[in-house]
């Protein structure tokens, strides 16, 4: 398989999804990129029932590497990276916002909303296509998710 082989990339993603599912996890992200003469396969895991653990990553990595070696799809040397989205995980859609409702987040919009494009606040509501934030000073602000360029959880130390 070559990095530009779209059918091969799709097949690798399907294999990764199956292995991840077999480990009772979800595939958050999957990328393949060339680096010199080898490929870097990055698999990012998620878990609805809590945080992804080191054991989750280790087991998934072992299972996926075994499966890839059995199928012998990759003709070049490769490096497999398996991780979690992290504490400052991206919020990719409204479902992510709803899942982490009550959490502190940072949003950057493509266009100004009330004169600014960067917002930090606690996600207090998700309605329709909007996320309502409780921002500094106790003000509530509604952001249309269609205007969001990037959104991430903010790490809180309690």
pLDDT in tens, 104-136: 999 999 999 999 999 999 999 999 999 999 998
114 DSSP 8-state letter: T
Give the separation between CA 147 and CA 112, rounded to whole angstroms.
Answer: 9
CATH 3.30.300.70 placement within the chain: 6-83
Which CATH superfamily, name and number, covers 6-83? Answer: RimP-like superfamily, N-terminal (3.30.300.70)
User: Tens of pLDDT along 56-108?
Assistant: 999 999 999 999 999 988 888 999 999 999 999 999 999 999 999 999 999 99
pLDDT at 3: 45
Strand 78-83 and strand 148-153: the pairing is: unpaired
- For 94-153, CATH number out of 3.50.50.60, 3.40.1710.10, 3.40.1350.10, 2.30.30.180 equals 2.30.30.180
Termini Cα distance of the chain: 47
In DSSP notation, 116-155 reads EEEEEEEEEEEETTEEEEEEGGG-EEEEEGGGEEEEEE--
Q: What's the predicted TM-score (pTM) here?
A: 0.81
- The residues pairing with 131 across neighbouring beta strands, listed in sequence order, are 126, 143
How many helices (H) and strands (E) are present in the chain, helices listed first?
3, 8
CATH 2.30.30.180 placement within the chain: 94-153
């Amino acid at each position: 398989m070559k990095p530009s082989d779209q059918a091969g990339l799709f097949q690798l993603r399907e294999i990764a999804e199956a292995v991840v599912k077999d480990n009772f996890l979800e595939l958050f992200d999957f990328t393949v990129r060339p680096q010199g003469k080898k490929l870097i396969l990055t698999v990012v895991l998620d878990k609805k029932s809590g945080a992804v653990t080191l054991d989750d990553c280790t087991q998934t990595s072992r299972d996926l590497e075994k499966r890839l070696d059995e199928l012998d799809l990759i003709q070049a040397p490769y490096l497999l990276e398996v991780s979690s989205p992290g504490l400052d995980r991206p919020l990719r859609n409204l479902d992510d916002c709803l899942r982490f409702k009550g959490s502190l987040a940072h949003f950057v919009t493509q266009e100004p909303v009330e004169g600014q494009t960067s917002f930090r606040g606690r996600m207090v509501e998700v309605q329709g296509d909007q996320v309502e934030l409780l921002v500094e000073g106790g003000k509530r602000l509604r952001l249309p998710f269609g205007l969001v360029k990037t959104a991430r959880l903010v790490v809180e130390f309690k």
